[in-house]
């Protein structure tokens, strides 16, 4: 009896373990199904919903606005610092033109600046020295009379004593004092003239220094034109000229493009264009990746009609007038490259906000 009871207990435990594993497996499957459902719902929310007949189909290709980079001066390309497909930053050095013909004039202009600066320094020194000498040499008459010892007291009293001339007394003026004043005035005038000439030499030296600096800065600015910098953040799409090639302002050295500004260029007939509006949502499908959906919107509609381009194919007749439009991709991806063929579905009832 005890043997039967123990057998039943073992069987019960085995069944219980199997049932627990089954429940765990069921819960895992339910969780996976829930995650799949949530992901599908989120994907469907991003896609615009449109009823049959409220969408337009178009075909075209991926394009990108490009900028051509040229040189401001003529010369031979000494170095190219970028490669095709490289991401560029604003202000990055792209290429350099040989500036050897300007190196020797630049060195001469720098020497001229140093010479002009030395001449100016010497002229300023002489002007300051002359001004200090004049201030020390010419003192007030009262101080000179106190310190002067050239004439004795008796001679001064004799010259200054009252004298009778034609019966009338008068005080004689000291001739030594008059001579001293004349000499001092003559020296003062000469010193002023020398100081004026010295200041004029300083002004001339300053002007020469400014001219030398302007000539040097002009050469430096011209040499900077031999270096080519990137104007914006961009992607290098093509390198036209190689190192050693001759370049001029009319020749294209590099071609760059904004990697964030990618769009689809498509064409529609006159009847379909009447239903288009700027901002309408669209879904772009690449031929290389048909399952990949790139959301876009209508950003441009041509104002004039044109004939069907030769590189595009429609189901209808080849020769007919169409209107071009641009579908800007909202979130560009590396998989969408310029030149790729693609198709689009434009939802005429959905407008981007």
Distances (CA, A) of 84 to 69, 89, 95, 238, 240: 14, 14, 13, 5, 10
Question: How many other C-beta atoms are found inside a 10 Å radius of the C-beta of residue 104?
Answer: 9
The domain locations on the chain are 1-46, 66-95+226-253, 102-224
Over the chain, what is the mean pLDDT?
76
Q: Using 50, 70 and 90 to split pLDDT, how confident is the model at 37?
A: low
User: What CATH number has the domain spanning 66-95+226-253?
Assistant: 2.40.50.100
CB 209 within 8 A of CB 113: yes
d(CA 345, CA 272): 12
Closest CA to 254 of 279, 271, 229: 229
CB 82 within 8 A of CB 236: yes
Q: Using 50, 70 and 90 to split pLDDT, how confident is the model at 283?
A: very high
Report whether pLDDT(315) > 80: no
pLDDT (0 to 100) of residue 259: 83
Report whether pLDDT(219) > 70: yes
Express each pLDDT in 259-279 by its tens digit.
888 999 998 888 888 888 899
pLDDT (0 to 100) of residue 229: 94
Express each pLDDT in 137-179 by its tens digit.
655 544 444 444 444 444 444 444 444 444 444 444 456 667 7
pLDDT (0 to 100) of residue 39: 60
d(CA 223, CA 286): 47
Asked if CATH classification 1.10.287 holds for the domain at 102-224, the reply, yes or no, is: yes
Instruction: Return the percentage of the chain with pLDDT > 90, whole number.
Output: 21
CB 228 within 8 A of CB 78: no
Residues 309-338: what's their mean pLDDT?
74
Residues in the chain: 353
d(CA 76, CA 248): 9
Express each pLDDT in 64-97 by its tens digit.
888 999 998 999 999 999 999 899 999 999 999 9
pLDDT (0 to 100) of residue 199: 82
- Rg of the Cα atoms in the chain: 48
Backbone angles phi, psi at 226, to 5 degrees: -80, -5
Report whether pLDDT(188) > 80: no
């Amino acid at each position: 009896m005890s043997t039967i009871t123990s057998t039943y207990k073992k069987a019960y435990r085995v069944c219980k373990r199997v049932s627990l594993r089954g429940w765990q497996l069921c819960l895992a499957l339910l969780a996976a199904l829930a995650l799949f459902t949530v992901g599908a719902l989120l994907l469907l929310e991003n896609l615009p919903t449109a009823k049959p007949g409220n969408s337009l189909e178009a075909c075209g290709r991926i394009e990108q606005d490009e900028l051509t980079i040229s040189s401001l001066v003529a010369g031979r390309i000494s170095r190219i610092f970028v490669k095709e497909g490289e991401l560029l930053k604003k202000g990055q050095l792209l290429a350099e033109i040989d500036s050897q013909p300007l190196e020797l004039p630049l060195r001469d202009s720098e020497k001229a600046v140093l010479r002009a600066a030395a001449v100016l320094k010497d002229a300023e020194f002489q002007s300051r020295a002359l001004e200090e000498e004049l201030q020390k040499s010419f003192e007030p008459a009262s101080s000179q009379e106190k310190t002067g010892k050239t004439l004795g007291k008796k001679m001064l009293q004799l010259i200054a004593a009252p004298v009778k001339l034609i019966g009338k007394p008068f005080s004689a003026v000291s001739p030594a004092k008059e001579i001293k004043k004349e000499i001092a005035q003559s020296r003062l005038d000469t010193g002023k003239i020398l100081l004026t000439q010295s200041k004029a030499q300083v002004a001339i030296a300053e002007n020469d220094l400014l001219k030398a600096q302007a000539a040097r800065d002009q050469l430096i600015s011209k040499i900077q034109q031999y270096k080519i910098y990137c104007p914006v953040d961009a992607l290098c799409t093509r390198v036209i000229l190689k190192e050693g090639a001759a370049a001029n302002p009319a020749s294209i050295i590099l071609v760059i493009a904004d990697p964030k500004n990618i769009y689809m260029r498509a064409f529609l007939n006159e009847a379909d264009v009447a239903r288009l509006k700027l901002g309408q949502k669209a879904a772009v499908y690449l031929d290389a990746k048909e399952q990949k959906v790139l959301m876009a919107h209508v950003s441009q509609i041509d104002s004039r009609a044109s004939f069907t381009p030769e590189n595009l194919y429609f189901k209808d007749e080849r020769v007919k007038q169409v209107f071009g439009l641009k579908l800007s991709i909202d979130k560009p991806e590396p998989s969408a490259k310029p030149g790729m063929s693609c198709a689009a579905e434009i939802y005429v009832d959905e407008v981007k906000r």
